[in-house]
Structure 1
Amino acid sequence: MKQSDRDRSVRLLWEPPAEPTRGPKAVLSQSRVVEAAIKVADAEGVDALTMRRVAETLGFTTMSLYRHVPGKSELLDLMVDAVWGETESTPPGPWREGLEFFARQIWAMHRAHPWMLHLTTSRRMPGPHAMTRQDAAYAVVSELGLRSEEIVAVVTSVAQFVDGVGKTMADRVQAERETGVSEADWWAGRDALWEHFTPDRLPMMTHIWNSGGFERPLDEFEFGLARVLDGLAVFIESEERPAVRRETCL
């Protein structure tokens, strides 16, 4: 992406145009384009998202959208930040409760908009809503005597766990949309596979299968989040980790 294109995304996200206060409700705006695009992605998946498809849902021509959003890449950046805007900032308080709140906000966002997890995020331009939520999560662990890089690592560990569980959930949603077959029904139809669950070949999996372990799965989000926070507690409360004087925020 050219520098001019990156700057354009920054301006769209951080310096949005004023919304029209007069005129008919049908008038087009950046926020209306983003809202319509999110609805398309929610209903049909992000692969179905095109400028033409969004224009169709709004009843405008495709070219009219480009006056408000330059292209699909910028539209996706705006969509992601708009979805982050549906979450709440982590409130001040004990670090564990704060990080749990942060995790649950991300989980709720992913469940409402699983298409987000099918986007490449490593070089997507962050917007003000996403950055504000991240800043609040950093703040909740800022009183623990951690080095700055440790603050980042702690919050990132929680966010990446949620993203990992969410990606599995998003893949299931996409598969069910594309095939019309639920996850449970798909696995129930794998009779040829279950025939190979024998004690001599797969002793532990056969034991778990026979004892009903696969039929009573623990909630992957709840179980995993608790274990992640337990592990962070061991690190944070370790007596071997030297305390660091907290720098005053300017």
Structure 2
Amino acid sequence: MLPALMVHAEWALAALDGHGLDPTTMLDLHVLLYSYVQGIAVHLEREAQAEAATGLSEDQWMDHQTPALQAITAATQYPVFARVTGSLKNGYDLDLDTLFEFGLKPLLDGIAAIIENPPPRHTTL
């Protein structure tokens, strides 16, 4: 437990408090949301570190990976991956900010659904 993380935990738990959720569900939802945000942040940090180390932007690095990607998609081991990526007319641009927004909405919608219809309370012995 770190003091800065406790500030976030208090904020998140306060938002969930008073909605009829049991303590385990409240903590599970807090950890789920925190882990989602942290996961995307880690990838953003890794991108920045890789660019600093290589001097290549993400797009430049991906351009260098084209032969390896073509070999993977040509292999018969990954037919669904090959079909999906092959159907992209302009390739796939992994934009972490866009991905964050894309994933945050269903995550928050799922949390709202749990708040509206709380699961049965966890019991402890």
Q: Which has the higher helix share?
A: 2
TM-score (norm 2): 0.76
Gaps in structure 2 of 5+ consecutive residues: none
Say whether 1:206 aligns with 2:82: yes
After TM superposition, give the deviation of residue 167 of structure 1 in Å. 0.8
Q: Is the 8 A contact 1:172 1:183 kept in 2?
A: yes
Task: Return 5+ residue gaps in structure 1 as ranges.
Answer: 1-124, 245-250
CA distance 1:242–1:194, change in 2 (3 Å): closer
Structure having greater relative contact order (Cα 8 Å, sep ≥ 6): 2
What's the TM-score once normalised by structure 1's chain length? 0.41
Q: In structure 1, what residue type is equivalent to 2:59? A: A
Q: Which residue in the other structure is 1:135 paired with? A: 10
Match of 1:193 among 63, 68, 92: 68
Runs of 4 or more, structure 1, over 6 Å off, are none
Q: How does 1:101-140 map onto structure 2 within 5 Å?
A: 126-127=2-3, 129-140=4-15
**In 2: Cα distance, 1:236 partner to 1:178 partner:** 44
1:176/1:182 contact within 8 Å kept: yes
CA drift of 1:131 comes to: 2.6
Provide the alpha-carbon RMSD of the alignment. Answer: 2.6
- Aligned match of 1:15: none
Is residue 235 of structure 1 aligned with residue 114 of structure 2?
A: yes
Q: Which of structures 1 and 2 has the bigger CA Rg?
A: 1
Identical residues among aligned pairs (%): 26
Q: Structure 1 residue 177 and structure 2 residue 56: aligned?
A: no
What is the CA deviation profile of residues 62-92 of structure 1, one whole-angstrom value per residue up to 9, with x for unaligned ones?
xxxxxxxxxxxxxxxxxxxxxxxxxxxxxxx
- Answer whether contact 1:141 1:151 (CA < 8 A) is retained: yes
**Alpha carbons of 1:189 and 1:208: their partners in 2 closer, same or farther (altered >3 Å)?**
same
Q: Structure 2 vs 1, CA of residues 237 and 177 (structure 1 numbering), >3 Å: closer, same or farther?
A: same
**For 1:7-156, what aligned pairs fall within 5 Å after superposition?**
126-127=2-3, 129-156=4-31
Alignment coverage as a number of residue pairs: 118
Amino acid of the residue matched to residue 80 of structure 2?
Answer: M
